[in-house]
Amino acid sequence: MLTVFALPIRRRGVIFGGGERDQLVVVRRGIVNNEPFKILEPGHEGSRTEVLGQFGAGLEVRLTPHIGLINDFSWNVINGSSNNFGMVRSGINFAF
C-alpha cells in the first residue's frame, strides 16, 4: 500500500471590479406639522478589487493502483475575517 501526502502551500486570487452597490442615503431629517420626514437620495458605491486566499492540506491512501481514499481540509480567506470559512472533504478516488 502506497501513501501519498499532498500539501499545497497556498492558493490566492484577486477579483477585479464587481461589488458595486446602490442604496438610499438619508440626506435630511426633520419635523413638519408634528410629522417626521426624511429626504432620501440614491447613493452608489463603485467597484473595488478584493484579494482571496486558500490554504489547506490533503491525504490520499491508495488501496490499489487505481482506487484510493482521499481527505482534505482547506481554509478560505474571503474579504475580511467574518467571511472566512473552512471546508473538509472526503471521498473515493477512481483513477482509470
32-84 residue pLDDT tens: 788 887 888 887 777 766 777 888 999 999 999 999 999 999 998 887 678 88
> How far is the C-alpha of 9 from the C-alpha of 91, rounded, in Å?
22
Sign of dihedral through CA atoms 82, 46, 26, 28?
positive
Domain regions of the chain by residue span: 3-19+46-94
Which residues are bridge partners to 70 per DSSP? 60, 91
pLDDT of residue 19: 63
pLDDT of residue 40: 80
Mean pLDDT of 20-25: 76
pTM: 0.49
Collapsing DSSP to helix, strand or coil, 82 comes out as: helix
Instruction: DSSP for 20-33, please give it.
Output: -EEEEEEEEEEEET
